[in-house]
Amino acid sequence: MKKILIDLAKFRETSVNGEYNYGECSYDFHPNNIGMKDIIEQAMLRFTCRHCEDAPCIAVCPAEALEKDEDNILHRATNLCIGCQSCVAACPFGTLSNRIITSLKSRCDLCNLNDESKPTKCMTTAPEGAIVFTDAEPNEAEHIHRLSERILVREIPWEDLKDND
């Protein structure tokens, strides 16, 4: 089964003034034409966020739009989020970005990905290698993690960085 690999480091390395190039979406009705942004937000909340025990981002949110699940993973309810950026300001590690956490959100449908799919528009317009097809499986040694059945993310989770100190 064909999967997509998202390399978060490639987005960070090529950002300009903190702005990521998410690649353009083939569905023109996504806000600002960036459907992949939702998946990148999910990946950052799962793998980049440091999962603070007493999460100041949750405490400061006036709309109660942030919550943790049973695995301590942060989730944002877009229908509640007012885009005030309080969570971004409260994050003691700067892992929440005001370029990611906005009130506008698009849901990527992976362009109805199947095994015969050609590279999608976001793959060809995002930074080189940031979004690619792969046959890889999750592999902790290569920092490849499963976000969903069809999406893998390359990111060094905070826990791994902390253990290397």
Give the chain's domain count. 1
pTM of the prediction?
Answer: 0.80
Which structural domain range is residue 82 located in? 3-163
Which CATH number is 62's domain given?
Answer: 3.30.70.20
Give the torsion through C-alpha atoms of 21, 23, 25, 30, to 10 deg: -10
Q: What is the pLDDT along the chain (165 residues), one digit of tens a residue?
A: 789 999 998 988 888 877 788 888 877 665 566 678 788 888 988 988 899 989 999 999 999 999 999 999 999 888 888 888 899 899 998 887 766 666 566 677 777 777 677 888 889 999 999 999 999 999 999 999 999 999 999 998 766 666 655
- Phi/psi for 90 (5° steps) reads -80, -20
The H or E element spanning position 105 is none
